[in-house]
A and B are shown apart, each in its own frame.
Chain A
């Protein structure tokens, strides 16, 4: 495969996979917590949180990217703080691409998990409580296993969105080969130069292959889990 793809193309593929997996993994726990809060929480500002989480879904991606640049850039309030205190830099790094991807994919992840939480029979959680399980254990031993299909669906959506994210990524971290050039931005670059059709075609093919594999794996996992969690 290395022989078939040029080193630069190969780098873009590996970087895209890395960015997507990191974006998916990093947003998983916050995604479950936010979904729980939105599905079950009765607190002031729940509506505002709902709107905030869903904003990236409806705003132009370029706007999200630009806001990220303003806040998480080297001179942005959050970016400067993180760089100074923890030596974490997002601007024009692959980590920034992962951040942009996870922000863009977050609403999809939260929606999928939230739907499955709302479908959970709370009577089962009550039953677990009467058996001596405190709320944290009820969540870990009853709720979490029951919403696993939703979590898997959310993770696949998140991964797919991250693989295809373009606007926010290119605005926030630009299109630097080997650092922030992911599959979509690489394909875009190929289409902008004469004689780039071959590279664009090859990366398009790789993109489709990755999507199909991700879909097949998720279907297989969901079927396996659903068999275990079927309603009694």
Chain B
């Protein structure tokens, strides 16, 4: 799938000027609140008519202000999962799911109702009313409703933002399966580093209505200056991994990465499962010598790739760990004390308990082949 967007839009004092191209399975529109993410997806979905520009999805021109083209939303075949589910209160779950199908011509209906219901785990909810569902259940029904309209593209506007951590953890696997098993490309709006790290295959970074970067999530995440200040603590890198084995006596799972192995809290995954692991810069320590008598289980040999600019008291150091890029956030004082400079060999240390479930996600197929 390809998505080409080049639009300009004024809304009161806010101006959006966005141009990007994406061909990933899951494109994340990333940026802080008020950066124009929702305005952008609304323009793609047809809920907003941009002042100038064009939007082309899979070669189909949906908006071209110069040619006076504006395809109305009901003819775009673009599914939209909203932040607040927006289920129809007067219909039960089954009829909410079938709503799009009522208006889809028979020739376009390819999705299998039972398969979608299974994928999202909502079979037991079909006769319920939306009012009786939990937040996570509502979002799953909303995703199913959009899928059953057989869209050519699925937009998701912060579908997890209104959910607590437990509910998010409940939805993550479904979005991953959708990305990996479905054949519908997804555009996901998010302001959470954890979400884009875990889910995206390409990232468009927005700030104050402008696109400031596009690229692969691994590349974007290590450019810590792109991250919104409130999320800087979440900055880090993505590393591809594979489950090597489990140590049930200690409740640990061993993962293989390029530079060696990582011990993380026990995962319910088969040996050989490809994973992506997010390593937060603030969880990585540096040591000049291979440490002994240390509680941390993960010690990786690394070479200093570059020393970043100072931000307050801390500095981000990029490391080359057998081909994977890691970022360590250390104090300026430590940099001077250890005399860290590019090309230097040292050890990166990561505590096993620093990993939580949100940082370990399954790999999209096109990326896992490279492991």
Contacts and interface: CB of A to CB of B under 8 A. Distances in A.
B89 A123 contact: no
B89 A126 contact: no
Interface stretch (B96-104, B177-185, B207-215): B96-104
A85 interface: no
Contacts of A138: 74
Interface stretch (A56-64, A93-101, A129-137, A178-186): A129-137
A138 B99 CA distance: 11
A129 B45 CA distance: 10
A232 B103 contact: no
B89 A130 contact: no
B99 A130 contact: no
A99 B100 CA distance: 42
Interface string B70-102: 001111111110101111111000000001101
Number of contact residues on A: which range applies?
20 to 34
A228 interface: yes
Nearest to A121: B86
Given A228-B90, A231-B89, A127 B103 contact: no
A125 B5 CA distance: 25
Interface stretch (A29-37, A42-50, A139-147): A139-147
B103 A130 contact: no
Interface in A190-232: 228-232
B287 to A, nearest CB: 53
B138 to A, nearest CB: 8
B131 A130 contact: no
A128 B84 CA distance: 14
Nearest to B85: A232
B39 to A, nearest CB: 14
B90 A130 contact: no
A124 B86 contact: yes
A127 B90 contact: no
10 contacts: A123-B82, A129-B74, A130-B76, A130-B146, A132-B77, A133-B103, A134-B72, A134-B74, A232-B85, A232-B87
Given A121-B86, A127-B80, A135-B74, 10 more contacts: A128-B88, A129-B47, A129-B74, A130-B47, A130-B80, A130-B146, A131-B149, A132-B104, A133-B99, A141-B102
